[in-house]
Structure 1
Amino acid sequence: MIASIALVLVAACESSPAQEPTVPSQVGESQVGESPEFPPNRLIKLVAPLDDPDHYCLDIRGWGSNIRLQESLQAHTCKPSDNRDQQYTYLSLTNQIYSEEYDLCVQPESLEEDSQIFLRECSDAPLQKFTPQADGLIRHLADGADSLCIAIAPGEGHVINAIHKRRELFVNSCDTTDSSLITWEFASGAAGTGS
């Protein structure tokens, strides 16, 4: 009897197709153009180095036990290690930019130019809808806001120490902002042990 039950189970398993995990492999269709693949836990890095040869990345203010999650995000020198506070995953099913380390999503203060960008509890809020584009722009998807992109402040970066600089981060016009301030790439970063 046990042998026949085992045989039935083996036969059932062999005839059932294996279910693949439902992990999104690329962003969904965009209103503006094709979107690139977006692997998990990537640095969102400005393509142009501007005044920092190590480039700028989206960053949470503070570090380690002094992390300041309630303050606006900034652009900060990309960190080669200990960079979990600079790692994000694009969730293509919900069009959100997600910080796995802090279980929060990227959200501008409002849908107006020069609005600062924060990390907030992930929700269905239209303010959290973004899509990365093949041309490097990260466009906002809320109704009427598809011309807003994540942008770094112009000018010189504020020197923090001998190797780090920072600049403010906003949503600004995709059409009138200098492309060097709004063109991003999703770069791999060594997994850090701290944030």
Structure 2
Amino acid sequence: MRSLTRSSHQPPTQPARRTAPLLTPLLTALSAFAALITVTASDTGQATAVTAAATAAPAPGSAVTASDEALVQLAAPLGEPRHYCLDIPGLARPGTLFAGHLEVHSCKTGIPDAHTAQIDQVVSVSAITAAAGSIRYTRLDACLGAQLIPDSTGTPKLWEDANTGVGTCTGAANQRLTLGADGRIRPALDTTKCLTVGKEAFEATDRAPGEPWYRRALTLSTCTRQDAPRQIWTLAEPAPATS
């Protein structure tokens, strides 16, 4: 994995994010033929493993236990020691859905009450690794969906660099995305596309003076080897309720 240049505004180096040891047995058990790969996060020298399983996705509205929760984290730090995680912008609350485009944001780790702060970053492991998967935000009962725009015939189409949004989980085709054994998240509507993080980082809000969060765009773009650092994901353990 190639190293990417850090901007002059990047935060000071912090200890590398540790992937979830408790999630590994769960993911392995989901499928006997799951493929395991290792992706090296070059900026930290950390090796992270991604396991994909072909299982049935949980029905919308079904209960999700804490053991089924994970952060969807970009494997490569891209200059952010905390890594980037899938995120719903703004203040997410159950019953109130964000209407704009989704993005990635500094993973909300190592802060007071991180368990509460991660309400808009934790998703269902069993849902995202299912054969007909989905990215379901467990504490909001909401799902990520691809933005479809009609073509010249009026047929909704998933275009290159399509944006994503979040809405009520319906099982619709544009909400079907699966984390594969190669660490890429592909939409069922077009498996040549991958969930891709933007090239530019922007400051979000300060978590403390001199310690800004960072955010990047999120699109569904053609899967390429060149863009692998911005397209390969891993699952990381969220903060416990006692943190």
TM bucket (normalised to shorter chain) is 0.7 to 0.9
Judge conservation of contact 1:160–1:166 (CA < 8 Å) in 2.
no
- Give the one of 135, 139, 143 matched to 1:105: 143
Q: Percent identity?
A: 27
Shift of 1:151: 0.8
Cα distance change on mapping 1:29 and 1:146 into 2, 3 Å: farther
Judge conservation of contact 1:75–1:167 (CA < 8 Å) in 2.
yes
Q: Which runs of 5+ in 2 are unaligned?
A: 1-28, 35-49, 56-66, 149-157
1:43 has 2:78 as partner: no
User: Which residue is equivalent to 1:19?
Assistant: none
Residues 143-193 of structure 1: CA deviation (Å, up to 9, x unaligned): xx0111111101233353223101111111113661011110011110469
Residues 91-119 of structure 1: CA deviation (Å, up to 9, x unaligned): 22641111121111110112112111111
1:85 has 2:123 as partner: no
**TM-score, scaled to structure 1:** 0.73
Instruction: Give the counterpart letter for 2:214 in structure 1.
Output: K
User: Which residue is equivalent to 1:73?
Assistant: 102
**TM-score, scaled to structure 2:** 0.60
Q: Within 5 A, what are the aligned runs for 1:1-195?
A: 26=30, 36-37=52-53, 40-63=68-91, 69-80=98-109, 81=114, 82-89=117-124, 90-91=126-127, 92=130, 94-110=132-148, 111-142=158-189, 145-161=190-206, 162-175=211-224, 178-191=227-240
Provide the alpha-carbon RMSD of the alignment. Answer: 3.1
Shift of 1:63: 2.5
Runs of 4+ aligned structure 1 residues displaced above 6 Å come to 27-30
1-structure distance, mates of 2:213, 2:85: 11
Q: Which runs of 5+ in 1 are unaligned?
A: 1-24
> Quick check: which has more Rg, 1 or 2?
1
The count of aligned residue pairs is 166
SS in 2 for 1:150: strand
